[in-house]
């Protein structure tokens, strides 16, 4: 049920993507709005979306939106000798919300991000690798076509506290309406 959002796993690295672990599917949005905010030099909240700014400003009901909202929360900047610098470490949480046909599902998880810049500046970027993700909340009719997934890619955004708050507020209001997703049985 994600029309035009799922593509076969064949594109190159770099752009952020949510890819299935065991299915040949991935979601790779083309972002039109990217903003971040930072309360300190160790923390960043990055918001990426393929939904136009005007849709957020108009207060469009989320049931009428189709697209993706991604929130990457860097909760600790890795530093050699003080924190692990490896893909198995966890320095970020990721939430990837998919909106389609009046349905919504959010894939959540954590992974490692190696920042290119320090949080707090005018621009923040970095490489996020292999974040483990799964569907955590959804509407009743949302179809999970990815199953267990990984999120990775290079992310970057201009510091824009107002836009980050706007996107973050919309994300939180949508998540408040979603139910906890049923989990598949353990093998």
- Can you tell me whether residue 125 is helix, strand or coil? strand
Has residue 185 been placed in a domain? no
Has residue 105 been placed in a domain? yes
Has residue 111 been placed in a domain? yes
- pLDDT of 88: 64
For residue 63, give the DSSP letter.
G
pLDDT in tens, 11-31: 334 899 999 999 999 999 999
Has residue 62 been placed in a domain? yes
Residues 75/91, Cβ–Cβ less than 8 Å: yes
Q: How many helices (H) and strands (E) does the chain have?
A: 2, 11
User: Which segments of the chain are extended strands (E)?
Assistant: 6-7, 17-20, 26-27, 33-40, 43-49, 67-74, 92-100, 103-115, 123-138, 149-159, 179-180
Average pLDDT along the chain: 88
Residues 101/66, Cβ–Cβ less than 8 Å: yes
Count of the separate structural domains present in the chain: 1
Has residue 142 been placed in a domain? yes
Rounded distance between C-alpha atoms, residue 56 and residue 71, angstroms: 15
Has residue 175 been placed in a domain? yes
Q: Kindly report the pTM of this predicted structure.
A: 0.88
Q: Which residues pair with 115 in a beta bridge?
A: 126
Has residue 1 been placed in a domain? no
Domain of residue 70 covers 6-15+22-180
Residue 8 banded pLDDT, cuts 50, 70, 90: very low
Task: Say which range, 41-50, 51-60, 79-88, 166-175, has the weakest mean pLDDT.
Answer: 79-88
Residues 131/3, Cβ–Cβ less than 8 Å: no
């Amino acid at each position: 049920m994600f029309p035009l959002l799922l593509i076969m796993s064949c594109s190159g690295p770099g752009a952020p993507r949510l890819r299935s672990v065991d299915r040949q599917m991935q979601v790779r949005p083309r972002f039109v709005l990217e903003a971040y905010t930072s309360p300190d030099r160790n923390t960043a909240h990055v918001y990426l979306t393929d939904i136009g700014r005007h849709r957020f400003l108009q207060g469009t009901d989320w049931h009428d939106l189709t697209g993706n909202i991604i929130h990457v929360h860097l909760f600790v900047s890795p530093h050699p000798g003080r924190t692990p610098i490896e893909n198995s470490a966890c320095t970020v949480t990721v939430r990837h919300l998919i909106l389609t046909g009046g349905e919504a599902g959010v894939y959540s998880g954590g992974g490692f991000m190696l920042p290119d810049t320090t949080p707090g500046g005018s621009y923040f970027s970095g490489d996020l690798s292999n974040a483990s993700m799964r569907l955590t909340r959804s509407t009743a009719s949302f179809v999970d076509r990815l199953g267990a997934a990984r999120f990775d890619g290079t992310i970057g955004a201009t510091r824009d506290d107002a836009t980050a708050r706007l996107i973050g507020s919309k994300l939180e209001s949508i998540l408040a309406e979603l139910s906890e997703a049923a989990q598949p049985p353990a093998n």
